[in-house]
Amino acid sequence: MLELLVISGPSGVGKGTIINRLISSHPTLSLAVSATTRQPRTGEVDGTHYYFMNDDEFDHAIQNELFIEWAPVHQYRYGTLRREVLRIQNSGKLPLLEIDTDGAMQVKKNFPNATLLFIEPPSLQSLIDRLYQRGTETDDQISRRVQVAQIELSRKAYYNFVVVNDIVENAVTSVLEIIEQLQQSSSSHLTTGD
């Protein structure tokens, strides 16, 4: 049954592009808004871009198990609130989470029925090339991202599905086909009583 969809993959693999196209072409999907302890950037709106929390609020949410997953990222913390997933589910939509592999493993533990989908680059070299082409990071930052990518790639076996992003349109089509198959499977189980 498709209750929650998690998409992970290394930095630079094209997750954001794929997710934007999925949401625009599949109206039943809704991207969950993450909570963070970092300050809002110019133009960011609380509850739209992130739920902005101070350290005490974030600590309170952890202690009261209000997150389905959370992690420190650089000097800040990010997490997905249970209420955000429930809000999307109660609106009749499918919650979509874009999170790292650590977060995905937490979701898998807390939501055993979650579907985990890993976006993989065609090769590690193609990922490195994409990171350089973006022109947004220094050589040291790219080196760190590649080290993290190697760890993330080693975890893809824990995911329900792996989609290679060689051509964005093909990757989007593959993900949409997976969603459709899972939704059809869910409805057939409901109608047959399985």
Q: Judging by DSSP bridges, how do beta strands 94-98 and 5-8 pair with one another?
A: parallel
Q: Give the pLDDT of residue 189.
A: 54
Q: What is the pLDDT of residues 78-120, one digit of tens each?
A: 999 999 999 999 999 999 999 999 999 999 998 889 999 999 9
HSE toward the beta carbon, residue 70, CA cutoff 13 A: 20
Please spell the DSSP secondary structure of 98-118, one letter per residue.
E--HHHHHHHHHH-TT-EEEE
Query: Which CATH number characterizes residue 113's domain?
Result: 3.40.50.300
What total of structural domains would you count in the chain?
1
Q: Judging by DSSP bridges, how do beta strands 161-164 and 51-52 pair with one another?
A: unpaired
Which pLDDT band, with edges at 50, 70 and 90, does 136 fall under?
A: confident
Q: What is the pLDDT of residues 10-23, one digit of tens each?
A: 989 999 999 999 99
Question: Which of residues 145 and 56 earns the better pLDDT score?
Answer: 56
Domain that holds residue 14: 5-192
